[in-house]
Amino acid sequence: MKTVAVIGALDTKSDEFLYLKTRIEQEDVRTIMVDTGILGSPKFRPDISAAMVAREAGEDLEEMRREQSRQKSNDTMLKGAGLIIRRLYGEGKIDGAVTMGGGRGTIVGGEVMRSLPVGFPKVLVSTQATNSYAQHMFEGINDTFVINSLVDISGLNEILKMVMDKAAVTIAAMVKMEQAALKKTRPRIAMSMLGITTPCVSAVQRRLEQAGFETLVFHSNGLGGTCMEKMIRQGWIDGAADITTAELTPGELGGIGYAGPERLTGAADMGIPQVIVPGAMDIIDFAPPESVPEKYLNRRYVMHVSALKVVRTSAEENRHMGKLMAEKLNQSRGKVVVAFPMRGLSANDHEGAAFYDREADMALLETLERNLREDIPVCKYDFHINDEAFAEEVAKLVLNVMRR
């Protein structure tokens, strides 16, 4: 029989988690119940108590209750749950994990799911699933199956039971199915893409697939880059064609779509070959449009959709970003090549388009050339990023670095 870890706060949600646990077991799947509650005793005995979770994080549950520090208690249980689930996974004692909760429960559940690799069955039932202001809770949870609870997780009403039934059969089916699709049959290349770099990425992808590689394209919206970096570190990826590095920009200049400080570090640390194109480094995205800071209000902009306003980066900002990129790439243990399209970095940045600014683009190029290690070449091409000829050159570079 397969085994699923069920993680949740039994001090306030014992009835609900007992229902979920029972439903999973009705699907011929064992459960290991992990209690992350801090306020009181559960109505049934878990397999791993709250005291054990706290102890895993180096704290004493009773002492925390006396201190009554909400932040410390939450941080402790979050850390302890993640450590326990990672250990259970590492020891081969669980085949899947499921959790549910509101705000705190989603934060704890997110930490648990981040601790588990791509491909491992994961289900999270959350009251925050469609809350646009809570998306940070779900960052980095990989391929977790997220279910909107519809109602708060408070009481065994028919709506919540319907949702928990779905969660139970989903995680049961996931742990029972074969994971053959995750077997690597060809060398894998990770690629990054936005709509404004799609022609380039698609053309490079076709050439790499024809050459016998499997390509994984990640949407450069923050979550995509985070997932790409994590999969590289987990050993799923053999090389990178990182054509859209725009996820670096929000962390320095503001806006949405930041992939965190780990962006552009996975391939460097793992020593896998990579070809880098500073695709879409001409943009800063803001959603909603009224969130644009005052300092950008006089910038050139385009409305990507009615809810997304895109402003142009300046030469000064591009010099800053070029230095940051160089610092990250200089840490590389493997082969690195930078390909630079001299006629524009995105669909918005070409002669006659709204964001065309050769001075800003050249500021990025010159800063890269000045700050990169001597053994990291910058190949300059008199093409636009979305020209077929540029894609041909990038594909050649990727094939070349993958042969070495």
Which CATH number fits the domain that encloses residue 372?
Answer: 3.40.50.12030
Asked, as a colleague might, if the bond just before 117 is cis with ω within 30 of 0, I would say no
Asked if residue 280 and residue 155 are part of one domain, the reply reads: no
Residues 58 and 84 sit within 8 Å (Cβ to Cβ): no
> Which ranges in 211-353 belong to alpha helices (H)?
223-233, 249-253, 266-270, 315-329
Q: Does any domain span residue 303? A: no
What's the confidence (pLDDT) of residue 136? 76
Residues of the chain under the 50 pLDDT cut: 180-181
Asked if residue 211 and residue 168 are part of one domain, the reply reads: no
Helix axes 10-25, 158-176, angle to 10 degrees: 50
Q: Does any domain span residue 99? A: yes
Asked if residue 260 and residue 148 are part of one domain, the reply reads: no
Cβ-proximal residues to 313 (8 Å cutoff; 6+ apart), any chain = 249, 253, 281, 282, 283, 284, 321, 360
Asked if residue 172 and residue 191 are part of one domain, the reply reads: no
- Contacts of residues 285-291 at CB distance under 8 Å and 24 or more positions apart, as own/partner, are 285/250, 285/255, 285/256, 285/257, 285/309, 285/310, 286/254, 286/255, 286/256, 286/310, 286/311, 287/256
| Closest by CA position to 238, among listed 211, 213, 219 | 213
Q: Does any domain span residue 338? A: yes
Cβ-proximal residues to 382 (8 Å cutoff; 6+ apart), any chain = 342, 343
What's the confidence (pLDDT) of residue 138? 83
> What pTM was estimated for this model as a whole?
0.80
CA distances from 224 to 23, 40, 257 (A): 33, 39, 9
Asked if residue 137 and residue 75 are part of one domain, the reply reads: yes
What residue type is 314 in one-letter code? Answer: S
What's the confidence (pLDDT) of residue 179? 54
Asked if residue 202 and residue 246 are part of one domain, the reply reads: yes
Structure confidence by residue, pLDDT tens digits, 381-394: 999 999 999 999 99
What's the confidence (pLDDT) of residue 20? 98
Domain termination site, one of 180, 207, 233: 180
Asked if residue 250 and residue 111 are part of one domain, the reply reads: no
What are the residues facing 217 on neighbouring strands? Answer: 191
What's the confidence (pLDDT) of residue 234? 86
Asked if residue 259 and residue 171 are part of one domain, the reply reads: no
**Residue span of the structural domain in which 156 resides:** 3-180
Domain termination site, one of 139, 159, 180: 180
Q: Does any domain span residue 300? A: no
Residues 332 and 376 sit within 8 Å (Cβ to Cβ): yes
Cβ-proximal residues to 136 (8 Å cutoff; 6+ apart), any chain = none
Q: Does any domain span residue 106? A: yes
| Closest by CA position to 220, among listed 244, 255, 252 | 244
Asked if residue 136 and residue 271 are part of one domain, the reply reads: no
- Structurally, the chain folds into a number of domains equal to 2
What's the confidence (pLDDT) of residue 6? 98
Q: Does any domain span residue 270? A: yes
What residue type is 290 in one-letter code? Answer: E
Q: Does any domain span residue 50? A: yes
Asked if residue 374 and residue 359 are part of one domain, the reply reads: yes
Asked if residue 106 and residue 198 are part of one domain, the reply reads: no
Q: Does any domain span residue 308? A: no
Domain termination site, one of 180, 204, 237: 180
Distance between the two ends of the chain, CA-based, in angstroms? 45
Residues 256 and 309 sit within 8 Å (Cβ to Cβ): no
CATH number of the domain that residue 42 is part of: 3.40.50.12020
What's the confidence (pLDDT) of residue 180? 47
What's the confidence (pLDDT) of residue 132? 66
In three-state secondary structure terms, 48 is: strand
Cα distance between residue 167 and residue 148, in whole Å: 10
Cβ-proximal residues to 206 (8 Å cutoff; 6+ apart), any chain = none
Asked if residue 123 and residue 81 are part of one domain, the reply reads: yes
